[in-house]
Structure 1
Amino acid sequence: MPAPEPTPPQSSLLATAAPFGAHVLIEAAARACDIKAAVGGPPCVPSVPAPPAVSVPPPPAASLPAPPAVSVPPPPAASLPAPPAASVLAPPVVSVPVPPPPDTPTLAATPIADLERILRPNGLGTAGLRLIPREQLPTPSEPSSDTAEGRPIPGLYHHQVAEPDPVRVEEVSRRIKSWALDEVSLYPEDWAEQFDGFSVGRYMVGCHPDAPTIDHLMIATRLMVAENAVDDCYCEDHGGSPVGLGERLLLAHTALDPVYTTEEYQAPWAKSLHADAPRRAYSSAMGYFGQAASASQTDRYRHDMARLHLGYLAEAAWAQMDHVPEVWEYLAMRQFNNFRPCPTITDTVGGYELPADLHAQGAMQKVIALAGNATTIVNDLYSYTKELDAPGRHLNLPVVIAEREGLSDRDAYLKSVDVHNDLMRDFESSAAALAADYPVPTVQRFLRGVAAWVDGNHHWHQTNTYRYSLPDFW
């Protein structure tokens, strides 16, 4: 038997990205020229900057063949598929320009040279991909009631953002309440004030500034409300308990990841999806999401929700044992029990797709994980006093640091602010490096979308004075 050939040398991330990025950029530039000519503009020649030079040792003669050329899928259609029969019809789509999101940091910090091109719309990543017109809505009859400025946590690293578009906020708020009441019977009448106080319309409009239509915003809004229904009803405020949580989460997860079984048992499973409000919400929200998302985007979301449910179970186990984890253990749990499913659908909500192979890159997974970790610590910090006032012991980062490191409540809280700031700067530097290594339009836009979600999440927590207030530590 002949000796096996040596393994070909593995290219670096940059070596892989450079030729691929150039190929995609050339196709995107050509498509932009075709679009320009189609609408009556002068002819143009695509111009794409050369990829960075990369030195890679040549492979041996018996190395694997070169990978096939990658083609860019055509942009999505200008409207979403029709919603299920029980849904409310969407208004007609009309074009209106999209204002760029502000990106000025509120605290003095060392600037990251490449981050600006992630956060500010420019080049092919925006113009060549945003082909779905942004709809125009009528002026609201009165200003949104949820415009309190709130107070940012002193010393917390964040970026200021503009107040979410009040016209969009009002329309999303109207539609989500109609969905919650009329389609899925999500909550009884005496929960209405809490639902309104959550201000989910402001939340999602602020987190998805590049969503082309209200229908696209509703994709994220339904999922956010469904996720919170599961958390509240299964885990926390409204009858939740760690006892038996695994069974409840598993059955709810089948609304996202369908069961395929024998005919005799398929019907009882399908009936179970209407058994309680969380499962009704998951089932309906996932149905809308699946109409707008590709197969890979849908599977990506299922995977992220499995991560979330695993984190719920770890926290429930600690509650049953009355155990306070080590700080690193708590942070590990928070990488699963966090906001990750929300920013990772930013491409679906934006009306485009980050290809699965790019999403799966280790560097991209690190960026997404850091974004989820930082935004979740924001929640720990802003909800600190709310959780202290609730019955029982709620684990959050300041509580765990105080217990495990023997610090006062104030010092543990301030150290948690430092942990958040370190995570934020790691997120930004990792995103900047990834943007430089992958000069691909979808990557650039996806990173901008994740960064916008991070900023919008902080803005919502800061301004939601109905839910949150700060401790007196300064």
Structure 2
Amino acid sequence: MPHLSHFHGRSPDLPAPEPVPPQSSLPHTLAHFGTYVLAEAAARARDIRAATAAPPGVPAAAPTHVPEAAPVPASDAVPAPSPAESAVAAPPAPALPSVPTAPGLPLPQLSAAPAPEVPRPSADLSRLLRGPSGLGTSGLRLTLREEPPACPAPSAEQGTPIPGLYHHPVPEPDPVRVAEVSRRIKSWALEEVSLYPDDWEEEFDGFLVGRYMVGCHPDAPSVDHLMLATRLMVAENAVDDCYCEDHGGSPIGLGDRLLLAHTALDPLHTTREYQQGWAESLHADAPRRAYRSAMEYFVAAASASQADRYRHDMARLHLGYLAEASWAQRDHVPEVWEYLAMRQFNNFRPCPTITDTVGGYELPADLHAQDAMQRVIALAGNATTIVNDLYSYTKELDAPGRHLNLPVVIAEQEGLSDQEAYLKSVEVHNDLMHDFEREAAALAADCPVPSVQRFLRGVAAWVDGNHHWHQTNTYRYSLPDFW
């Protein structure tokens, strides 16, 4: 804020200065990084070939108390990493290379010095910029679609997509990976963290979390990488169920419970006298046990920047939980824009934001923090969360009490029928999706850095996989009779 003395003594006849128009900080960041950061990004990915044709090895070893992972099925096998590739520290940055660019995308000006000669993209780079290919990767794209492609007629087991909802169909997730992730996550839930009692087993199985995470991360190099996301997803769901929703949740005292659970992700640093009491508290209930264990695995595989990014997004999530709890305690229905503001925090954002860790590479922190990237991630989280509102609508209507979702809020605040409010919510989702794809395509054109391109494809794949899981999980969801 300018010092007040700057405004004293100015003649009242002088017009107020025009505000400086906002400018993007992306060119400045790229200039600050220069060629070095691109070399660093390439080193993190263990060169372009490692990020495409030869996936990096499995994540760094988990804490010593964790049981050894089961062998990856033959169809999921990856080349064994060398000792150098398995090291925790990143390899030294290579000599500063010239920076290739994608066909048809301009190379941003990195500095005032003459730009290096730009070679024609190699076959490996072209493949990277196109995104992964094969089963389950059709959602990895950075081009806009004017109209959604025609959906194949779904079977009863696959569910029915919401009529009029803008989405991109994806292939069924790899069944071998799904089976292995499902086996491992259930073993972790039962044997490592004692997540649920016996009478919750059907609900756990019905969540189909293996299909969910395999479908959302089609470029994950291995099942070990997929398990990073799967444990975190299950832990987040346990906190939501046990603290907020179905299984003993309550808005009363939620802040206390969430704060203590958050310390399983963001550790307490205190005196030796009081450290032990906190450490013991991490085993006090299923949500904290799950958070602690899932985060230990994640930190062992992620960079410090990626881990801190995830903690930040989980703090956002918990803040959204608290806003919703406050409304529940007061029996308050917010304005539609207020509800959407809450949903920007209480949403799926922590899941797509770790897509690079699950993919075995890193989007540099300064590029992740750019306003344009943050807008893309926020729009993706908002759109996918409205998908949840729409598919879980009848499930929440059948539950005790009043559950706020976008159709309920629109009906209440705008005086619409349930059907009209639901159909308007579909339009809100579609607008968010179009904005997400438009902003992602613009960012891809402005910043043709390989890690940025791959990250944007990963977020798009997560958006598509999230819809596919909601549509096909007929154990949990069914559609209202509005058509």
1:91 is the counterpart of 2:100: no
| One of 384, 387, 391 as aligned partner of 1:375 | 384
Question: Structure 1 residue 10: deviation in Å?
Answer: 9.3
Secondary structure in structure 1 of the residue aligned to 2:158? coil
Normalising by the residue count of structure 2, what TM-score does the alignment of the two structures yield?
A: 0.76
Q: Distance in 1 between matches of 2:129 and 2:417?
A: 53
Match of 1:427 among 431, 436, 456: 436
> Offset at 1:90?
3.8
Taking structure 1 as reference, are residues 153 and 429 closer, same or farther at Cα in structure 2, changes over 3 Å only?
same
Matched residue type, 1:82? A
Q: Separation in 2 of the partners of 1:130 and 1:301? A: 24
**d(CA) in 2 for partners of 1:345, 1:379:** 20
Q: Specify the code of the residue in structure 1 equivalent to 2:69.
A: L
Contact 2:182–2:210 (CA under 8 A) maintained in structure 1: yes
1:29 CA drift (Å):
12
CA RMSD of aligned residues (A): 3.2
Task: Work out which of the residue numbers 9, 20, 35 in structure 2 matches 1:23.
Answer: 35
CA distance in 2, matches of 1:472, 1:430: 34
User: Which residue, out of 299, 302, 322, partners 1:290?
Assistant: 299
Aligned counterparts of 1:299 and 1:26: Cα–Cα separation in 2 = 22
Are 1:21 and 1:439, in contact at CA under 8 Å, matched by a contact in 2?
no
Task: From the superposition, tell whether residues 279 and 26 of structure 1 become closer, same or farther in structure 2 (CA, over 3 Å).
Answer: closer
Q: Does 1:270 align with 2:279?
A: yes
Contact 2:209/2:230, CA 8 A, preserved across alignment:
yes
Unaligned runs of 5+ in 2: 1-19, 80-103, 106-122, 136-154
Is contact 1:129-1:352 (8 Å) kept? Answer: no
Q: Say whether residues 1:402 and 2:411 are aligned partners.
A: yes
Contact 1:219 1:288 in 2 (8 A): yes
> Do the aligned partners of 1:301 and 1:344 also contact (CA within 8 Å) in 2?
yes
Residue 403 of structure 2 aligns to which amino acid in structure 1?
Answer: H
Aligned residues: 395
Evaluate the alpha carbon distance shift between residue 35 and residue 256 of structure 1 in structure 2; reply closer, same or farther with a 3 A threshold: closer
- Aligned mates of 1:271, 1:366 — CA distance in 2: 39
Alignment of 1:174-253 (within 5 A): 174-253=183-262
Is 1:411–2:416 an aligned residue pair?
no
Q: d(CA) in 2 for partners of 1:257 and 1:458? A: 30
Cα 1:171/1:432, change in 2 over 3 Å: same
Closer, same or farther: CA 14–123 of 1 in aligned 2, 3 Å: farther
Question: Quick one: distance in 2 between partners of 1:435 and 1:383?
Answer: 33
On the 8 A contact 1:398/1:413 being kept in 2, the answer is: yes
Report the TM-score, using the length of structure 1 for normalisation.
0.77
Q: Note closer, same or farther for the CA distance 1:191–1:159 as it changes in structure 2 (3 Å cut).
A: same
Residue 83 of structure 1, CA deviation: 2.2
Tell me if the contact between 2:225 and 2:359 (Cα under 8 Å) persists in the aligned partners: yes
Q: Output the CA distance in 2 between the equivalents of 1:434 and 1:381.
A: 29
Percent identity between matched residues is 76
2:249 is paired with a residue of what secondary structure? coil
- 1:11 Cα offset (Å): 6.8
User: Quick check: 2:61–2:301 contact (8 Å CA) kept in 1?
Assistant: no
Residues 324-357 of structure 1: CA deviation (Å, up to 9, x unaligned) = 0000000000000000000000000000000000
Structure 1: gaps spanning 5 or more residues: 1-7, 40-71, 97-113, 116-121, 135-145
Q: CA deviation at 1:125?
A: 7.3
Indicate how the Cα distance of structure 1 residues 28 and 125 shifts in structure 2: closer, same or farther if over 3 A, else same. Answer: farther
Distance 2:156 2:298 in 1: 29
Aligned in 2, Cα 1:324/1:472: closer, same or farther, shift over 3 Å? Answer: same
Is the CA contact 2:233–2:351 (under 8 Å) kept in the aligned structure 1? yes
